[in-house]
Amino acid sequence: MTQEKTVTKTQELVYEMNVGKVMVTDLITVGPDDCMSDLQYLLRDKRISGIPVMEKERLVGLISIEDFIRCLVDGKMGSLVKEWMSSEVETLYDSDPLIHAVNKFDRWGYGRFPVVNRQTGKLVGIITKGDIVKGLLKKIEREYHRSENVPVQTDHFFQDVISNHAAIIFQYDVIGKDFDRAGETSSNLKKTLKKIGIPPAVARRIGIACYEAEMNIVIFTDGGELTARVNPQKIAIEVVDSGPGIPDIEEAMKLGYSTAPDFIRELGFGAGIGLSNIEKCSDDMHLESIIGKGTRLEFTVFLNRGKK
Amino acid sequence: MTLESITKTLSLKMITVDQNLSHEITGAYVSDLLSDVMANAKEGDLWVTLQGHPNIVAVATLKDLSGIVLVNNRQPEEETVRKANEEGIPIFSTDKPAFEVAGELYMLIKEK
């Protein structure tokens, strides 16, 4: 199975990718009047098996390690490149699909083909079978990497769940007095809700209401807990802290009423808008508090209807 | 008008990395009270404020705002910039006061 798949993918890539993508572009070339003895260092040091022969930016031939060996056997290392090179050079275009290259290697049995640009006719690279293999492997690796990183599809979470009752619970600890991290809980919850397919407008309302609740915990308490219960009908949020409690809830709900100290207000918090923001964003809100014990806030946003 | 052309016209200095500048801006909101922004800014608004602490990024993210303009040459805290880059919220600074920025923005957006 797997092997079959790989072959198909490779075949697909061979049609998809072009020669320009895998060819080598930092070219080493020689001139037709260069001496054959100069080649030995190039072939050895650069570990290459064939070199394009260029005359005034024009490709005039190709000299390969086989040509070099013939010359060596004849003991004519002092002769010139043009006497040994093959001047009938088969080339590929950089825009050719790789399959053309593969076919050409099969048909001619050569080890390499110079690559020219279709428009300019200029030499732009050289390609060997090794380059093709390397190019394909790289591409496959990239695609594999990408497929591994595709996020899990969760945006139809509830549509895919078959049951009479389903709910997901997200729980967050909110740290008191930590103004640097304040807001993270609400941001994370909002992102999570969007990921499981909650409409953005609903996620935003929940985000805003949770932010205000989170800020109340951060400003006034030593910490608390925020829990979101999500089911296909509604999102219910419960925010609980362990003190100091709200002395007068009716008063606290009034727009602009605030007990926040000055330094908090300078940061832009504590404007006395928070609780009414929560009320505005939710379909249903319930707040209870005992001085010295703590505060419990619950609010709900319904999913399948507009705001009340 | 896109956020990018607004920043050019008003010569706003970009503080965060170059991202999310192609939004069409149709409104802006001026306030330094975070809850007020939460209550009254609209999705996609550009937010003009002098608050530079990290919480402005949370507010902008939660309200899906397009960006934040810090006035009177206020510089954001390092943590603010880090978070903004992470969340993709562009932050700009200008030496102009909020009144002038708001006026210029109003003219630009209303012209459309």
Say what the ipTM of the complex is.
0.74
A263 part of contact set with chain B, CB < 8 Å: no
All residues of chain B having their beta carbon less than 8 Å from the beta carbon of residue A268 are 32-34, 49, 51, 53, 55-56
User: Residue holding tokens 């919220």?
Assistant: B89
| Tens digits of residue pLDDT in B85-110 | 999 999 999 999 999 999 999 999 98
A:B CB pairs within 8 Å: 73
Q: Do the beta carbons of residue A228 and residue A239 sit within 8 Å? A: no
Question: Which site among A172, A184, A211 would you substitute to test the B interface, given the most B Cβ atoms closer than 10 Å to its Cβ?
Answer: A211
A 178-217: CB under 8 A from B:
179-180, 182-184, 186-187, 190, 200, 204, 207-208, 211-212, 215
Residue A113 forms beta bridges with which residues?
A127
- For chain B, the residues whose C-beta falls within 8 A of a C-beta of chain A are 32-36, 38-39, 43, 49, 51, 53-59, 61-64, 79, 87
Could you tell me the two tokens for A235? 């999102």
Could you tell me the two tokens for B1? 């008008």
Whether this model's pTM surpasses 0.90: no
A179 contacts B53? CB cut-off 8 A: yes
**Angle at the Cα of A15 from the Cα atoms of A14 and A16, rounded to 5 degrees:** 95
B62 contacts A204? CB cut-off 8 A: yes
**Total residues found in chain A within this entry:** 308
A186 contacts B62? CB cut-off 8 A: yes
The DSSP secondary-structure symbol of A247 reads S
How many Å lie between the alpha carbon of B71 and the closest alpha carbon of chain A? 15
Helix axes A36-45, A65-73, angle to 10 degrees: 130
Cα distance between residue A205 and residue B14, in whole Å: 30
pLDDT in the model for residue A307? 45
Q: Is A143 helix (H, G, I), strand (E, B) or coil?
A: helix
Cα distance between residue A234 and residue A228, in whole Å: 10
For the domain spanning A2-149, the CATH number is 3.10.580.10
Could you tell me the two tokens for A109? 């049995």
Which residue of A187, A190, A211 is in closest CB contact with B38?
A211
**Angle at the Cα of B95 from the Cα atoms of B93 and B96, rounded to 5 degrees:** 105
The DSSP secondary-structure symbol of B92 reads E
Residue B67 forms beta bridges with which residues?
B46
Question: Which site among A178, A187, A218 would you substitute to test the B interface, given the most B Cβ atoms closer than 10 Å to its Cβ?
Answer: A187
Does the domain at B3-111 match CATH 3.40.1390.20? Answer given as: yes
A184 contacts B35? CB cut-off 8 A: no
How many Å lie between the alpha carbon of B65 and the closest alpha carbon of chain A? 11
> For A141-145, B1-5, B13-17, which range has the lowest pLDDT when averaged over its residues?
A141-145
Which residue of A180, A200, A212 is in closest CB contact with B54?
A180
All residues of chain A having their beta carbon less than 8 Å from the beta carbon of residue B70 are none
Please report, as a single letter, which amino acid is at residue B77: E
Q: Per-domain residue ranges for chain A?
A: 2-149, 157-302
pLDDT in the model for residue A234? 92
Residue A18 forms beta bridges with which residues?
A97
The number of beta carbons lying within 10 Å of the beta carbon of residue A87 is 11
Please report, as a single letter, which amino acid is at residue A290: I
pLDDT in the model for residue A80? 93
pLDDT in the model for residue A1? 45
Sign of torsion over alpha carbons A51, A53, A57, A60:
negative
Helices (H) and strands (E) in chain A, counts: 12, 10
Q: Provide CB contacts within 8 A for B70, sequence distance 6+.
A: B15, B49, B50, B51, B52, B76, B91, B92, B93, B94
Please report, as a single letter, which amino acid is at residue A280: K
Comparing alpha-carbon positions, the chain A residue that sits nearest to B80 is A180
Distances (CA, A) of A131 to A17, A140, B57: 13, 14, 48
* Ordered DSSP codes for A1-57: -HHHHHHHHHHHHHHHSBHHHHSB-S---B-TTSBHHHHHHHHHHTT-SEEEEEETT
Cα distance between residue A193 and residue A167, in whole Å: 13
Does the domain at A157-302 match CATH 3.30.565.10? Answer given as: yes
Which residue of A212, A267, A272 is in closest CB contact with B38?
A212
A280 part of contact set with chain B, CB < 8 Å: yes
pLDDT by residue, tens only, chain A of 308 residues? 445 554 567 777 888 888 999 999 988 999 999 999 888 888 888 888 889 999 988 899 999 988 999 999 998 888 999 999 998 888 999 988 888 888 888 888 888 899 999 888 889 999 999 999 999 888 888 887 777 666 555 667 777 777 878 889 999 999 998 887 888 999 999 999 988 888 888 999 999 999 999 999 999 999 999 999 998 889 999 999 997 999 999 999 988 888 888 888 888 888 888 999 999 999 999 999 999 999 999 999 998 765 44
Distances (CA, A) of A124 to A16, A22, A92, A182, A250: 20, 12, 10, 57, 79
